[in-house]
Structure 1
């Protein structure tokens, strides 16, 4: 038995995704560890503002834990660069 389509007009076919402009890709990684060298939770974003908001949020949520380490790292073809960390050195 075939059920009728729930919408009167079927969805249009998927559009092809537009290719990104060629050039260096930079991502931002936010890392959270509860002990130095221990397992980490990490998030990756292409948008720096999103990574900054995550860093600020994680500091607010977990920064009072005595051994918490939170970092924001820029990752590009040139390598990694530490942008911010908590606690401050």
Structure 2
């Protein structure tokens, strides 16, 4: 199985997600950036850029109303 690149949007941290998956990393990055522009100021929104290989996910970037961090928010 190859690597998938995902953009994941949640309107609250523990809520359901809207997600897109692509084989091209730049496409996922573009969607992540688009979602940050559209929803990034909402204090409840969490947006993630994720790399998935063989079912294992690695969060590359996370956006919340406080800004962007590399990796998951802890």
In the alignment, which of 47, 58, 68 is matched to residue 35 of structure 2? 58
Alignment coverage as a number of residue pairs? 66
Q: From the two aligned structures, give the one with the greater strand fraction.
A: 2
CA RMSD, aligned part only?
1.3
Q: TM-score, normalised by structure 1?
A: 0.69
Higher Cα radius of gyration: 1
- Which segments of 5 or more consecutive residues in structure 1 lack a partner in the other structure? 1-23
Q: TM-score, normalised by structure 2?
A: 0.82
Q: Distance in 1 between matches of 2:62 and 2:20?
A: 15
- Which segments of 5 or more consecutive residues in structure 2 lack a partner in the other structure? none
Q: Distance in 2 between matches of 1:78 and 1:41?
A: 18
**Structure 1 residue ranges, 4+ long, deviating more than 4 angstroms after superposition:** none
